[in-house]
Amino acid sequence: MILYPAIDLKDGHCVRLLKGDMTKATVFSDSPARQARAFQDAGCEWIHLVDLNGAFEGQPVNAAAVEAILSEISVPAQLGGGIRDMATIEMWLTKGISRVILGTVAVEDPDLVRAAAAAFPGQVAVGLDARNGFVATRGWAEETEIQVTDLARKFEDAGIAAIIYTDINRDGAMQGPNTDATAALARATTIPVIASGGVSSMQDLIDLRDCGTPLNGAISGRALYDGALDLGEALALLKAT
């Protein structure tokens, strides 16, 4: 199981939100590139990036910060937030992003997701962000009546590289991930699932690893910045099992 350190970008800074609320942002670094390099130096295999402003505005906003990160690291990075057309997908992959994450368009334009996955094999993931089991879009500001598992199944044969599943109510709250819902999603699809939202301790990682259904990985942000989770120890734990 891969541990993905998260860098969420707002106004060019590295921040963490509480339950997706843009008004409740804590700034952890004014140099996202330096933070990304620190994660790489600690031994991470991937880095998870989110353009928070882009998620709300529907287009890249923190492009300069993302490009600075890419110039600083050699490990692969995945990026979500404001990626809603083929031109933007191609732009980011050309610039060096290893995997784009499509969230809002998975609901609003599933044909685009399928076309992108076919055009860029292994480089397109779907972000399923849920509040009380139902998918939310446009920076989590809009709720749908679509259940997570139902949407995931729609992409079963599309060649999606991974599903990033986030329980919004757990995100940034340091209360642990929704392990049961994550495991249920992983059982419902053959697409690799990455857990996100609330991963804040070694025990959380153990619980996800041992949930009974193999997961591709887990994303953690605030816990790494607060020191509740030591990245080196966490990576060692996951590599040893």
Burial class (CB in 10 A: 0-12, 13-18, 19+), 214: exposed
Q: Report pLDDT digits (tens) over 141-178.
A: 678 889 999 999 999 999 999 999 988 876 655 678 99
User: Which of 51, 129, 167, 204 is an active site residue?
Assistant: 129
127 pLDDT exceeds 70?
yes
- What are the tens digits of pLDDT across the range 174-227? 678 999 999 999 999 999 999 998 898 999 999 999 999 999 999 999 899 989
* Mean pLDDT, the chain, whole residue set: 91
* Each residue's pLDDT tens digit, 67-89: 999 999 999 999 999 999 999 99
Please list the helix, strand and coil fractions of the chain in percent, rounded to the nearest 5, in that order. 40, 30, 35
In the predicted model, is pLDDT for residue 139 greater than 80? no
Q: What is the pTM of this model?
A: 0.93
SS3 annotation, 60-86:
CCCHHHHHHHHHHCCCCEEEECCCCCH
CA atoms within 13 A on the CB side of 204: 24
> Which candidate, 172, 88, 161, 91, places its Cα nearest to that of 129?
172
Higher pLDDT, 133 or 107: 107
Is 41 a residue of the active site?
A: no
- Does residue 16 surpass a pLDDT of 90? no
Residue 25 is predicted with a pLDDT of 77
pLDDT of residue 140: 62
Percent of the chain with pLDDT over 90: 74
Q: Is 111 helix (H, G, I), strand (E, B) or coil?
A: helix
Is 80 exceeded by the pLDDT of residue 133? no
Average confidence (pLDDT) over 37-59 = 95
210 belongs to the catalytic site: no
Contact at 8 Å (CB) between 196 and 50?
A: no
